[in-house]
Structure 1
Amino acid sequence: MNKITTNLTIQELVPLIHQWAKERGIFDKSTPFDQLLKTHEEVGELIKACYNNDKPAIQDAIGDVMVTLINYCYMVEENVNHIIKHALTTTPDTKSPPVRLAIFSEMVLADLLRYECKQGFKLSHISPYSNTLYIIKNLISIALLESTTLEECLNIAYNEIKNRKGKIINRKFIKDEK
């Protein structure tokens, strides 16, 4: 894992993540559904890290989930900075264990996946804004329970990906092997 060289704010990181995704063709060659599939993969890693009580892996997974949610929000034209600000003003859940919060996030993510799939599903009650808000609130709670912050986790993730090269294959970013 790369050491954090700069501690940027979330508001500074969001446009850097957007630029990173644009430069790699993620916005042009994938869909919101593809971004949610990647989020699903990253939430799975978060569940495993929480279950194993592996703080570095939890921080990495929280940051990776945030990167994919930032990309998803960009693609569906939701203001992710507003969602994050809203999430930060709510009371975190410090009573539930981190693994439970991660599993709840996966359940909400499943609703978003069905919403974006739109193949025979009628989910008018699903909102990209409110579902993303719920997931980010859970990420904040997990971070707090692990004595870290959303901002620290996002910095870890950005520092890990910022120089990463790769290509889009089947609408998925595949990183180049070193």
Structure 2
Amino acid sequence: MQDLTDKIRVWAIMRNLDEAEPTKQMLKLVEEVGEIARGLARGNMDEIKDGIGDVQVVITILAMQLGTSIEECTQLAYNEIKDRTGEMKNGVFVKAEDLS
């Protein structure tokens, strides 16, 4: 995974995407998430996989544009959830503090 992430960075730098406007990259992210939703709605696993991969590329570049890294952001998110407790409700994990 690290090798692929590094290749994404090189690809982005070669195209000056690392210096592009983050708001445009955010719009691209929403577009790619929509691709995943469309794939889910249609039961199209190829479209879902492509969308998930595209999201990974876009957020890697977005992190670069904002002066951080996808690894740092993922570590922060993991640190936040690693000890989280809760339970599944209707197929969704609900944090313990949100259970009533």
Return the TM-score normalized by structure 2: 0.71
Residues 1:76 and 2:76 are matched in the alignment: no
Report deviation, 1:50: 1.2
- What code does the residue aligned with 1:69 have? I
Report deviation, 1:37: 1.0
Question: Where does residue 50 of structure 1 map in the other structure?
Answer: 40
Q: CA RMSD in A?
A: 2.4
Contact 1:11 1:81 in 2 (8 A): no
Cα distance in 1 for partners of 2:32, 2:15 equals: 19
Q: Residue by residue, what CA displacement relative to the aligned partner does 1:43-97 show, whole Å, maximum 9, x if unpaired?
A: 1111111111211111110010110010000111223113234449658x8x24x
Residues 1:33 and 2:23 are matched in the alignment: yes
Higher relative CO (Cα under 8 Å, sequence separation at least 6) belongs to 1
Query: In structure 1, which of residues 13, 17, 35 is the aligned counterpart of residue 4 of structure 2?
Result: 13
Q: Is the radius of gyration larger for structure 1 or structure 2?
A: 2
Cα distance in 2 for partners of 1:32, 1:24 equals: 15
Cα distance in 2 for partners of 1:87, 1:58 equals: 24
- What code does the residue aligned with 2:24 have? D
Q: Residue by residue, what CA displacement relative to the aligned partner does 1:74-124 show, whole Å, maximum 9, x if unpaired?
A: 111223113234449658x8x24xxxxxxxxxxxxxxxxxxxxxxxxxxxx
CA gap of 1:81–1:38, structure 2 versus 1, over 3 A, is same
CA gap of 1:52–1:87, structure 2 versus 1, over 3 A, is farther
Unaligned runs of 5+ in 1: 1-9, 97-178
Unaligned runs of 5+ in 2: 93-100
Cα distance in 1 for partners of 2:73, 2:4 equals: 15
Alignment of 1:144-163 (within 5 A): none
- What code does the residue aligned with 1:20 have? W
Contact 1:21 1:27 in 2 (8 A): yes
